[in-house]
Amino acid sequence: MNRTLKILSIIFFLIFLINQTGFGQVRLPRLVSDGMILQRETPVKIWGWASAGENVKINFNNQSFETTTSADGKWQITLPAQKAGGPFEIKITGSNQIILKDILFGDVWLCSGQSNMETTMSRVSPLYGKEIENCTNPKIRLFQVPVRWNYSQPQEDIQGGKWEAANPQNILKYTAVGYFFARDLYEKYKIPVGIIQCAAGGSSAESWISEESLKAFPEQYRIAKQLSDTTYMRNLLASEKTAQWKWFSELGKSDLGRKGMPWLIPQLDDSAWPTLQIPSSFREAGMDFKSGAIWFRKEINLPENCAGKSALLELGTIIDSDSVFINGKFVGTTGYQYPPRRYTIATEILKAGKNNITVRVVSQSGNGSFIKEKPYQITVDGQTFDLKGSWKYSIGAKCGPSPTATFFPGKPLGLYNAMLSPIVNYTLKGMVWYQGESNAERANEYKTVLSTLIGEWRKLWGQGNLPFLFVQLPDFMEPKNEPSEGSWATLRNQQLKTLSVPNTAMAVTIGLGEKNDIHPLRKKEVGQRLALAAEKLAYGDKKVVASGPVYESMKVKDNKIELTFSDCGSGLTTNDGKELKHFAIAGADRKFVWANAEIKGNKIVVWNETVSKPVVVRYAWADNPVGANLYNKEGLPASPFTTEP
């Protein structure tokens, strides 16, 4: 009996291994699947796994290709270059058969970076409703690599994802930057465009490079090695999970708003509650409150024609998380500070006359706030009702700040191993990168880090100097009245310097940012500027003006500095018809003052009468250089710069 059980156990174990490893049958990576777009006009790899020594055959376009699986169970076949077009079928045969359908050949772009590359069309939909409505194009397709991390070793495959064509159903999950980039390229060249979105919110540049390359950055390498220790990682995850659970559990138990008569019910008597003007921060309001749960209530009168109808509730953005109830009914929740609060109110919730809105806010960091200059309103049947102004509030529970939790996408190596490594066999037209926010605290290193990433990625793909396009950070944070330093200003300059790496191009986004939102909505212009860069760099269209003015050199003449620029297009100008702004000048003491600036042909002369011996000029050198207005006549902004080495 025991012998029989042992044999059955071995059999079941072998079946399990077969199911887990695919031993005995041909398997393909997730990326190689129905609906994929393969790179035109160059040989492309099809790869996968099967039994060691198994013969694998591909039938494609009336041609056959064969190989034998290696001892480690891997196989790879290279298909010859094809012109743009399709659809095709690809038949792969081993001990089993797989037929891939609806395959197109076109141009494939890797779109990587952090949250501003991830930002979806859904998120920016308030600006681009018509684009979403009219987006149907089966020749633009997206593959989203699921966000995962691994600190032990590079992975062979990703854990999900599929190719999805652009249409109103799929488009809301598309990267907005990637979609507008692809759309512009398709409209110009009429060639299918595939986007591989391999991005993770909050990721650092070091998250996307290998352990070997991290050795050049000792502190980042140390972090990566620490996280690769499985015992350390297991203990870290367990302790953080326990601490977080305890904090939220105790908060829930002590929250007065959840005891007795819940504070979300409409009939609650809140007449004795103090008021807060929303939007504002809790600190500005002078609250004796940092971390914990706090409840807000507002009554709004609606006309008869709003009763029973669905509606849209907008509550700007809130630090840190919120749960919202209308007339006692739950309508939505958001777990962290960045997403815009746009909640659909179901039918039958709203009524004529008085309606109660209750918002429970959890502040974890002591910076609780309703962010200003955002929409706070209800829209019903084309009518908009403003929610800004006085709200009642009461503190449900106070506690210390929540325990910190490791944000793994921001740590070095993990995304390289889990997301990037599995896709490097997939042939590309080029790469698009939108990242830098998470590196601002060590901005001075960014050119070195990004140059390392570019070099390593090109080596991984083995396609020579693949075009690498990147986005310079937009304006962000509160503007300052005087010339100032700033980590974002420094990082932008490091990005500008990265243009010294061959076959790179940069999209300048000054003027597209929002001072109170690290995720600005104007992604269409970002995609368009990247597409211009691609047209010139990757498609060889030398007539395209792909960039705004880029500083080249300076010359001191008496008490003035003359600046020379490249990428002037058909001439230098301002975007508002006014005099040049946001130029600063300094002498040897490096004490910057605002300067006069005047366009002279394709040069700019800068001076300030109080600086008799000028040495250096800066332009748009601030985290948020409001008013920076140097453009070329094609409407593209100049990159911020300093004449310092």
pLDDT band, residue 19 (cuts 50/70/90): very low
Compute CA distances 578 → 332, 487, 597, 631, whole Å. Answer: 46, 28, 11, 12
CA distance 135 to 382: 24
- Please tell me the pTM assigned to this model: 0.94
Residue range 257-280: mean pLDDT, rounded:
96
CA distance 52 to 427: 25
Res. 21: pLDDT tops 50: no
DSSP E strands in 389-515: the ranges are 389-399, 430-434, 468-471, 504-507
Res. 490: pLDDT tops 90: yes
CA distance 40 to 535: 16
Res. 256: pLDDT tops 50: yes
CA distance 77 to 593: 62
CA distance 75 to 97: 15
Res. 13: pLDDT tops 70: no
Query: What is the pLDDT at residue 24?
Result: 64
CA Rg, the chain, in Å? Answer: 28
The CA-based dihedral angle spanning residues 103, 104, 107, 109, taken in that order and rounded to the nearest 10 degrees: -30
Residue range 387-394: mean pLDDT, rounded:
98
pLDDT in tens, 444-482: 999 999 999 999 999 999 998 999 999 999 999 999 999
Tokens, residue 290: 């940092």
Residue range 327-339: mean pLDDT, rounded:
97
Res. 500: pLDDT tops 60: yes
DSSP notation for 300-318: EEE-GGGTT--EEEEE--E
Beta-carbon contacts of 210 under 8 Å, excluding residues fewer than 6 positions away, are 154, 413, 416, 456
Residue range 612-620: mean pLDDT, rounded:
98
Residue range 347-375: mean pLDDT, rounded:
96
How many degrees, rounded to 5, is the angle at CA 366 between CA 362 and CA 371?
70
By CB neighbour count within 10 A (0-12 exposed, 13-18 middle, 19+ buried), where does 278 fall?
buried
Cis amide bond preceding 320, omega within 30: yes
Query: What is the pLDDT at residue 444?
Result: 98
CA distance 359 to 263: 10
Task: Identify the DSSP state of 165.
Answer: E
SS3 of 66-116: the string is: EEECCCCCEEEEEECCCCCEEEEEEEEECCCEEEEEEEEEEEEEEEEECHH
- For the chain, percent of residues with pLDDT exceeding 90: 96
Q: Which of 7-21, 50-64, 86-100, 450-464 has the lowest mean pLDDT?
A: 7-21
CA distance 255 to 393: 14
Tokens, residue 48: 């996968």
- The amino acid that residue 543 corresponds to is K
pLDDT in tens, 22-44: 446 999 999 999 999 999 999 99
- Residue 384: CB atoms within 10 A of its CB come to 12
- Is 105:192 a contact under the CB 8 Å cutoff? yes
CA distance 483 to 565: 22
pLDDT in tens, 194-253: 999 999 999 999 999 999 999 999 999 999 999 999 999 999 999 999 999 999 999 999
CA distance 421 to 448: 21
pLDDT band, residue 365 (cuts 50/70/90): confident
Task: Identify the DSSP state of 414.
Answer: H
Mean pLDDT across the chain: 95
pLDDT band, residue 328 (cuts 50/70/90): very high
Task: Identify the DSSP state of 463.
Answer: S
Residue range 176-204: mean pLDDT, rounded:
98
Residue range 178-190: mean pLDDT, rounded:
98
By CB neighbour count within 10 A (0-12 exposed, 13-18 middle, 19+ buried), where does 43 fall?
exposed
- For the chain, percent of residues with pLDDT exceeding 70: 96
By CB neighbour count within 10 A (0-12 exposed, 13-18 middle, 19+ buried), where does 358 fall?
buried
Res. 12: pLDDT tops 80: no
In which residue are the tokens 């290998």 written? 210
Beta-carbon contacts of 298 under 8 Å, excluding residues fewer than 6 positions away, are 356, 357, 387, 390, 391, 392
Q: HSE-up of 144 (CA within 13 Å, CB side)?
A: 20
Tokens, residue 245: 């659970």
- Is 375:342 a contact under the CB 8 Å cutoff? no
CA distance 320 to 88: 49
Residue range 14-19: mean pLDDT, rounded:
46
Beta strand 311-315 with 376-380 is: antiparallel
Of 25, 18, 48, nearest in space to 95 by CA: 25
